[in-house]
Structure 1
Amino acid sequence: MTIPVNARAVMASRREPPTALDFFPPPPWATRALCELLRERGVPIGGQEVWDPACGEGHMVGPLQEEFWHAEGSDVFDYGRGYRVRDFLDPAGHAYRPDWIITNPPFSVSLEFALTALPLARVRVALLVRSAWLEGTERYERLFGPQPPSIVAMFSERVAMTRGRWDPGASSATSYSWVIWRTTANRGRKPEFTHLPPGTRARCMRPDDARIYGVQTDAPLLALAGA
């Protein structure tokens, strides 16, 4: 069962994951930018199901719930947010086949995430990845050659991610892109390349994002008590 992340601040009951899990929560505005892009292209999402199999604390599931009929989240680690704990790369128990799989995969197993997601999703797969992920012989031979994406959407603005939590004030030198596949073969077609233009961040931010998803600081009285 998916628990709405806007019920209370994400950081209120957080659990620290092992460093090896590459937990870098995406800013919620980056997911809204994907949904905006899909709406502009007339891609129907409102009546469909979506699964984020590396959901962490729900930074992506929350914005997906704003657009999709149902958004499911799971992760290999229990972050204390009520999402199912399961290893997406374990083939056992892959009975759930949503319309979409949308996620920010751990970089170290991002290729494996893509190869696992494509046979499972009924309609499309979208991965938020470093733009440099589009390079590489192995990814071309195993993924992009046999199953080219339909859309590659690069952020013109930086999508800042920090280990362990989303900090709205963070900066980054790393470029990110959405890579989107149709689950029906796109072989022989050239992917559409587009930019998510400047102004996307401001347009897709919400006033309460920092409260719901961002870094939580100690209350002044608690800070004084510990001094």
Structure 2
Amino acid sequence: MQNTSHAVMSQRSEPADSPDDFPTPPWATRALFEHVLTPWTREFGQLTCLEPACGAGHMARVLKEYFREVQSYDAFDYNYGKIRDFLTYPYETNAVDWVITNPPFRLAEDFVLRALSVARTGVAILARTVFLESVGRYENIFAKAPPAIFAQFVERVPMVKGRLDQRATTATGYAWFVWNKKADGEPRLVWIPPCRRSLERRTDYPGSSNMSNGRQSSLAS
């Protein structure tokens, strides 16, 4: 019998034509700003951001909490941003200040290379921890343009196909990979401390009246 638990199914392999829609829990996006990008947080209110794989807008809505302007697009129609293929659209160099996204994993390398041209200041992608591996990514990205910060979640970030699910679990580790063109020095490894309980909000899950694992009473309103 096939094991279809969330933990097992999270280790997915999507077909080449799949939209690879695994929405990002909003608390995981807030963690980027509250625990990783804190040296530059004050700047964001004056800056622009592009979310080029916005899906239904779960990450883009959080980005609007921090940036002056957020442009949201996706190659597929999710009734949120406009339809635009990030890898083929003729963006100008330095078109926006930051590019921040959870890209389709099979296209993540292409997204990074494209984003480094499109972004004036920085790029941040949420990806499986194993994105740090592979000879190809080392030769194409890390050896030439290593991230300024590799930020590993110590909590698991559960993502399931096609929807947000606060009850989901996962066996997959995730991290934020951050490039900042203004940063100097060697790449830094940081850990994102347990923060789901403090950063999750009731409004992150539209239509859900009860939060799992007893979290409802502790969530910010």
Letter in 2 for 1:190: E
Which residue number corresponds to residue 72 of structure 2? 73
Which residue number corresponds to residue 64 of structure 1? 63
Query: Secondary structure at the residue paired with 2:71?
Result: strand
1:208 aligns with 2:203: yes
The whole-number CA distance in structure 2 between the counterparts of 1:158 and 1:38 is: 16
Which residue number corresponds to residue 93 of structure 1? 90
- Using the size of structure 2 for normalisation, the TM-score is 0.81
The whole-number CA distance in structure 2 between the counterparts of 1:150 and 1:58 is: 26
Whether the 8 Å contact between 2:156 and 2:173 is mirrored in structure 1 is yes
Whether the 8 Å contact between 1:49 and 1:100 is mirrored in structure 2 is yes
In structure 1, runs of 5+ residues without a counterpart are 1-17, 216-227
In structure 2, runs of 5+ residues without a counterpart are 1-15, 210-221
Query: Secondary structure at the residue paired with 1:60?
Result: helix
Aligned identity (percent) is 42
The whole-number CA distance in structure 2 between the counterparts of 1:143 and 1:185 is: 17
Which residue number corresponds to residue 167 of structure 1? 165
Find the partner of 2:193 among 191, 197, 216.
197
Aligned-residue CA RMSD in angstroms? 2.0
Find the partner of 2:23 among 25, 28, 33.
25
Which residue number corresponds to residue 153 of structure 1? 151
Whether the 8 Å contact between 1:119 and 1:183 is mirrored in structure 2 is no
Letter in 2 for 1:87: D
Which residue number corresponds to residue 46 of structure 1? 45
- Using the size of structure 1 for normalisation, the TM-score is 0.79
Runs of 4+ in 1 over 4 A off after TM superposition: none
Query: Secondary structure at the residue paired with 1:123?
Result: strand
The whole-number CA distance in structure 2 between the counterparts of 1:111 and 1:76 is: 16
The whole-number CA distance in structure 2 between the counterparts of 1:42 and 1:34 is: 11
Q: Which has the higher contact order (CA 8 A, sep 6+)?
A: 1
The whole-number CA distance in structure 2 between the counterparts of 1:38 and 1:50 is: 17
CA 1:38–1:69 in structure 2 vs 1: closer, same or farther (change >3 Å)? farther
The whole-number CA distance in structure 2 between the counterparts of 1:24 and 1:42 is: 28
Whether the 8 Å contact between 2:36 and 2:151 is mirrored in structure 1 is no
Letter in 2 for 1:118: L
Which residue number corresponds to residue 218 of structure 1? none
